[in-house]
């Protein structure tokens, strides 16, 4: 794979007969990084297929293409001293100007304006609702920091969102971008074959998903719950909600606080859970 600017293929939309391919990509994504190869997983699995079908257009850009010195330098010492290096503003400014097609970052309001996202541990937490918000945007640009991060003047001028994927520190923004894109793109219509599986995912209704099973019906002395084999769709739906409620109450009680619960929901929470992990140990008292 070449390390120069656009490194992952632009895929021409395939207007197949299956109705799944749109007229153009539903989501356009640009990623700026000093390690384009780190983004290779974008060619795999559901996202790789979505790109091949023209649903999502992903382009990865090597930040060093916007350096002008022989060493292709992107970092320098921090003002004020201290350990580590900081990413210089010049290549980032030039890269963002080219990638977004904007001469100045304050040219808001244009329909062509992308949403610029800077992954950082000090950003707002990445959640399923933010994933849904980003999935509805036509164009996202991710800026992958390294070292101690990107010069703050670039972030202040260009970032629409600074986003954290959790309370820990990674070495760079590439994995954070992969995490966000995996969550965002599965919400783009057509990317996941069965749209209902996305609707039922954990967090979509504010609850964790309950236990799931497949064949064989008996495994290591444990049976699949009879109700799931009953064919009674109403009873199955109630059982699934009850298990989701019990699991959420046990593992993430903080999530329940934001929900309006019916009497049936409250009864479900008070009755024993199916899953051993949710039955035996002490309930969690807060966020994990
Ligand atoms: C070593 S980190 C810099 C950490 C920075 N000095 C701080 O303490 O906030 C380098 C880059 O990794 C990315 N990164 C690290 N942890 C992250 C997280 N939890 N969420 C999103 N991005 C993260 C960011 O792009 C960051 O600029």
Q: Is 164 in the pocket of ligand 1 (CB under 6 A)?
A: yes
* Ligand 1 atom 6, closest CA: 148
- 160 and 95 within one domain: yes
Instruction: Return phi, psi of residue 269, to 5°.
Output: -65, -35
Q: Is residue 121 annotated as part of the catalytic site, yes or no? A: yes
Question: From first to last of its 288 residues, what are the pLDDT tens digits of the chain?
Answer: 333 333 333 333 343 434 455 468 999 999 999 999 999 999 999 999 999 999 999 999 999 999 999 999 999 999 999 999 999 999 999 999 999 998 666 665 566 789 999 999 999 999 999 999 999 999 999 999 999 999 999 999 999 999 999 999 999 999 999 999 999 999 999 999 877 678 778 888 899 999 999 999 999 999 999 999 999 999 999 999 999 999 999 999 999 998 999 999 999 999 876 666 666 544 444 433
Question: In terms of pTM, does the model score above 0.85?
Answer: yes
Is 242 inside a domain boundary? yes
For residue 2, how far is its CA from the centre of ligand 1 (angstroms)? 26
Residue 195 lies in a domain: no
Nearest to 250 by CA among 286, 225, 201, 224: 286
Q: Which of 43, 75, 148, 209 is the catalytic position?
A: 148
Domain match, 249 and 125 both: no
Domain contains 177? yes
Please tell me whether residues 224 and 152 are part of one structural domain. Answer: no
**Rounded Cα gap, residues 177 and 183, in angstroms:** 10
CATH number at residue 218: 1.10.1270.20
What residue numbers bound the domain in which 34 lies?
27-185
- How deeply is 60 buried, as exposed, middle or buried, from its count of CB atoms within 10 A (0-12, 13-18, 19+)? buried
Q: What CA–CA distance (Å, rounded) separates 232 from 178?
A: 39
Concerning whether 18 is annotated as a catalytic residue, the answer is: no
- Could you tell me if residue 18 is inside a domain? no
> How many angstroms does the Cα of residue 119 sit away from the middle of ligand 1?
7
Both structure tokens of 166: 């959790």
Q: Is 27 helix (H, G, I), strand (E, B) or coil?
A: strand
State how many domains the chain has.
Answer: 2
Candidate of 122, 123, 173, 180 to mutate for ligand 1, largest count of ligand atoms within 8 Å of Cβ: 173
């Amino acid at each position: 794979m070449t390390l120069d600017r656009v490194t992952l293929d632009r895929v021409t939309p395939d207007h197949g007969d299956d109705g799944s391919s749109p007229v153009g990509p539903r989501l356009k994504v640009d990623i700026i990084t000093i390690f384009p190869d780190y983004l290779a997983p974008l060619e795999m699995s559901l996202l790789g297929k979505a790109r091949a079908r023209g649903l999502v257009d992903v382009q990865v850009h090597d930040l060093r293409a916007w350096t002008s010195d022989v060493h292709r330098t992107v970092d320098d010492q921090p003002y004020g001293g201290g350990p580590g290096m900081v990413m210089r503003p010049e290549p980032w400014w030039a890269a963002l100007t080219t990638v977004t097609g904007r001469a100045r970052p304050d040219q808001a309001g244009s329909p062509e304006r992308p949403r610029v996202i800077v992954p950082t541990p000090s950003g707002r937490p990445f959640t399923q609702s933010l994933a849904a918000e980003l999935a509805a945007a036509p164009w996202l640009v991710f800026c992958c920091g390294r070292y101690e991060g990107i010069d703050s003047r670039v972030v202040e001028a260009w970032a629409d969102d600074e986003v954290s994927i959790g309370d820990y520190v990674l070495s760079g923004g590439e994995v954070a971008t992969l995490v966000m894109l995996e969550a965002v793109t599965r919400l783009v219509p057509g990317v996941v074959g069965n749209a209902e599986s996305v609707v039922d995912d954990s967090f979509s209704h504010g609850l964790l998903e309950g236990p799931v099973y497949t064949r064989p019906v008996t495994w290591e002395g444990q049976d699949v719950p009879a109700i799931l084999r009953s064919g009674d769709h109403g009873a199955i739906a109630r059982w699934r909600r009850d298990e989701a409620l019990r699991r959420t109450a046990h593992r993430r009680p903080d999530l329940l606080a934001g929900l309006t619960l019916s009497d049936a929901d409250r009864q479900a929470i008070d009755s024993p859970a199916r899953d051993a992990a949710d039955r035996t140990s002490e309930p969690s008292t807060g966020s994990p």
